[in-house]
């Protein structure tokens, strides 16, 4: 479990150090943006846990039709909650940023980060629920390794490339999170389909 959770959160820890090299303002904006995103992440955790509990029951009974229905209902229920929050992120990003800072430059960075993170929050939600579903079916290590590969290895490669070749700013870190979460979502969805076929 320590390897699992440590591996899954390592990239965010590394990004803190990268933000610091960009500047103190970037570090403040990164930490504030990540703090806000962590509140939204609780939706993913809550729905993922509930879906995983339901899936585990049907997996034990080998009732795969109900298992698929439970997973689909979990995804749809969470999206019903998440989508209004994503809309709020788009229209109320200035109101959100002022909660964290009165500095104009920092606030502008926070607003940019939140805007960039809208697709990240959507992809993250789907991959968290899917990963918890897989784990409730006894498929633990493969989703964990997929997560470590997507976030830590791919994330570091992408962030290094974007910072060096595109834009040396904290925004590149959040663009990296969007692409990593999209990749992870897709390979976990593939994994779920593969496991269910077996």
Per-residue pLDDT of the chain (198 residues; tens, 9 = 90+): 666 666 677 888 899 999 989 988 999 999 999 999 999 999 999 999 999 999 999 999 999 999 999 999 999 999 999 999 999 999 999 999 999 999 999 999 999 999 999 999 999 999 999 999 999 999 988 998 999 999 989 999 999 999 998 889 999 999 999 999 999 999 999 999 999 987
Q: From CA 184, how far away is CA 123, in angstroms rounded?
A: 8
Instruction: Please give the model's pTM, rounded to 2 decimal places.
Output: 0.93
> If DSSP codes are grouped into helix, strand and coil, which group holds residue 140?
coil
What is the DSSP code (8-state) at residue 62?
T
- Are 184 and 150 contacting, i.e. CB atoms less than 8 angstroms apart? yes
| Nearest Cα residue to 27 out of 99, 98, 103, 91 | 103
Q: From CA 198, how far away is CA 187, in angstroms rounded?
A: 17
């Amino acid at each position: 479990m320590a390897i699992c959770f440590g591996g899954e959160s390592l990239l965010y820890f590394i990004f803190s150090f990268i933000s610091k090299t960009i500047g103190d303002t970037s570090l403040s904006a990164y930490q504030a943006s990540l703090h806000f995103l962590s509140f939204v992440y609780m939706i993913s955790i809550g729905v993922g846990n509930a879906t995983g509990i339901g899936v585990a029951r049907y997996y034990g009974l080998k009732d795969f039709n109900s298992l698929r229905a439970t997973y689909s209902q979990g995804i749809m229920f969470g999206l019903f909650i998440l989508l209004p929050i994503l809309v709020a992120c788009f229209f109320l990003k200035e109101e959100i940023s002022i909660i964290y800072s009165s500095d104009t430059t920092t606030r502008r960075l926070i607003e940019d980060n939140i805007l960039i993170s809208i697709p990240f929050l959507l992809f993250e939600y789907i991959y968290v629920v899917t990963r918890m579903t897989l784990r409730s079916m006894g498929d633990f290590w493969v989703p964990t390794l997929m997560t470590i590969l997507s976030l830590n290895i791919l994330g570091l490669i992408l962030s290094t490339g974007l910072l060096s070749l595109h834009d040396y700013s904290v925004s590149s870190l959040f663009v990296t999170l969007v692409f990593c979460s999209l990749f992870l979502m897709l390979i976990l969805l593939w994994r779920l389909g593969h496991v269910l076929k077996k």
